[in-house]
Amino acid sequence: MRAQALLAQQLESHLDQALQENEFVVYYQPKVSMKDGSIIGSEALIRWNHPDKGFLMPGVFIPIFEKNGMVKKVDLWLFEEVCKTMRTWSEKGYPLFPVSCNFSRLHFQQSDFTARICEIADRWNVPHHLLELEITESVLLEESTTIAEVFQILKEMQFKIAIDDFGSGYSSLGQLQQLTADVLKLDRSFVSHGVAGMREKIVVGNVIHMAGELGMQVICEGVETQAQSITLQEIGCKYSQGFYFYRPMQLENYEKLLVADN
Ligand code: G
Ligand code: MN
């Protein structure tokens, strides 16, 4: 516990400098249409090239920054990096596919959140419909009118909203009635267990179907094998994000794919 507290303190005190000196790196993991493997977009994922601690995965530092609210700075940094990058894609004439970014639920307590997102996107001249905000399913549990209002404002601004890690344990489809999202990302664990037996297939298949009826695009996360990909397609899922197709990759590699694929 002491080691964890020490790490937290070291990372926190170094964060501002790290942001200024661009120690963070954005990786892109393609999302694909399972039928032919073609790219439909990507998720931007953060990594930290820490001068003393090496290459850190978000699982190491995001939970620490969630505790003290600093995660909001990190999320906004990543969002702006993505906007800058999309600007260069449009200048270079690359095909423009949507990119999603993760946002902590803590942003929903900030009254200027939607205005800031809008300001950043507009500063880099990125069409809002190409930007997708991923928010974990646990927001569905909060009895908050604020979240519904923020979703509504984002929707009016034409941003896309994805419910991330759906099925990881907290919410049920019933809760989706209240919040309208554009995309439902089925959690990795749900995907791996869900294709095991007949009963699991019925449950996952119905979730996919219902989400579709509610007007959401369903993306299965964590597809790692061809067998999973085939089964998921059989039960009605069209899109996925997972190691079987692509791992998260550096920008230059994602750009090569964008150009090659089209
Ligand atoms: O919570 P969220 O869905 O945003 O997390 C995305 C994380 O999932 C990334 O860190 C990414 O590396 C990881 N990931 C993506 N695809 C797979 C996969 O097929 N298997 C596993 N185990 N992890 C994956
Ligand atoms: Mn995500």
User: What pLDDT sits at residue 203?
Assistant: 85
Number of folded domains in the chain? 1
Identify the residue whose tokens are 């061809």: 226
Structure-model confidence comparison of residues 101 and 262, the more confident one:
101
Statement: residue 180 has pLDDT above 90? no
**d(Cα 62, Cα 190) in Å, to the nearest integer?**
23
Closest CA to 151 of 187, 131, 178: 178
Range of the domain at 198: 2-260
Is residue 221 lining ligand 1, measured as CB closer than 6 Å?
yes
* Mutation to probe ligand 1, out of 42, 228, 243 (largest number of atoms < 8 A from CB): 243
DSSP lists the bridge partners of residue 162 as: 134, 183
Statement: residue 215 has pLDDT above 80? yes
Could you tell me the maximum CA-CA distance found in the chain, to the nearest angstrom?
52
Q: In 10 A of CB 114, how many CB atoms?
A: 20
Over residues 198-206, mean pLDDT: 88
The CATH number given to whatever domain includes residue 124 is 3.20.20.450
| pTM, rounded to two decimals | 0.95
> Ligand 1 centre from 248 Cα, in Å?
8
Atom of ligand 1 nearest to the CA of 102: 4
